[in-house]
Structure 1
């Protein structure tokens, strides 16, 4: 799918650091970032880079809520470059889900590491906000079409 290739290359270029850059530290909230990719049909990918915790969740909530308010019908939260999240990060996902559900939109997660996926499934939230292995899989089958 051309959209997925485009998204992947855009995402990896965000992570390029020159030889003089400091190493990536998962606990360094200064490395946090959000990138939005809008696609046809109301599909939107919100990519998170860095740790999602109490100091960064407001940015994710604000971005995702804005996309929902402006017409996103299928929101994919790409967490493939997120090394850690705490309970406030999971709470942000629940908040985004509630906002989307109010307007009939869907939200899915994509790209969680195996450790984070295991923790997410233990909470049972995967029954409400589904997981996909990667962004391409999440875009190929929106939950509203399941």
Structure 2
């Protein structure tokens, strides 16, 4: 798996583009990068899943845990543009109702990262 960081705004918003397999072998790298980005000051993350070729159930539990940790820090995590592999895997997962995937490429209701209160996964 390859992870690419793309800042949306300095020190607050960050997009992480995941490429390749998201599975038990790549989870440590994902957790490490996420921790590093949060330690640097980003609080609102977007994970682009459009280039993920394979995803397992353990990865969904990890994404859920990452989202919860970010919420406890006052931030948010948006999972966007799921590849067909991710969509299929989530459809067969017990977590399908807990992990919401936003298909920005399909012009779903846009998320305005300038308004953290408008982000779909931001706790009330």
| TM-score, scaled to structure 1 | 0.65
Alignment deviations for residues 18-48 of structure 1 (CA, whole Å, 9 cap, x no partner): xxxxxxxxxxxxxx21001112161110111
Measured against aligned partners, the alpha-carbon deviations of 1:96-132 in whole angstroms (never above 9, x if no partner) come to 1122011110001111124522442554646544321
Aligned-residue CA RMSD in angstroms? 2.7
Match of residue 78, structure 1, among 30, 39, 48: 48
What secondary structure sits across from 2:54 in the alignment?
Answer: coil
Residue ranges of structure 2 left out of the alignment (5+ in a row): 120-124
Q: Tell me, in whole angstroms, the C-alpha distance in 2 between the residues paired with 1:65 and 1:59.
A: 10
Provide the TM-score with structure 2 as the length reference.
0.75
Instruction: Give 1:139 shift.
Output: 7.2
Gaps of 5+ in 1: 1-31
1:144 aligns with 2:117: yes
As a proportion of its length, which structure holds more helix? 1
Higher strand share: 2
Alignment of 1:94-133 (within 5 A): 94-121=64-91, 123=93, 125=95, 128-133=98-103
Whether the 8 Å CA contact 2:20–2:53 is kept in 1: the answer is: yes
Select the structure of larger CA radius of gyration: 1
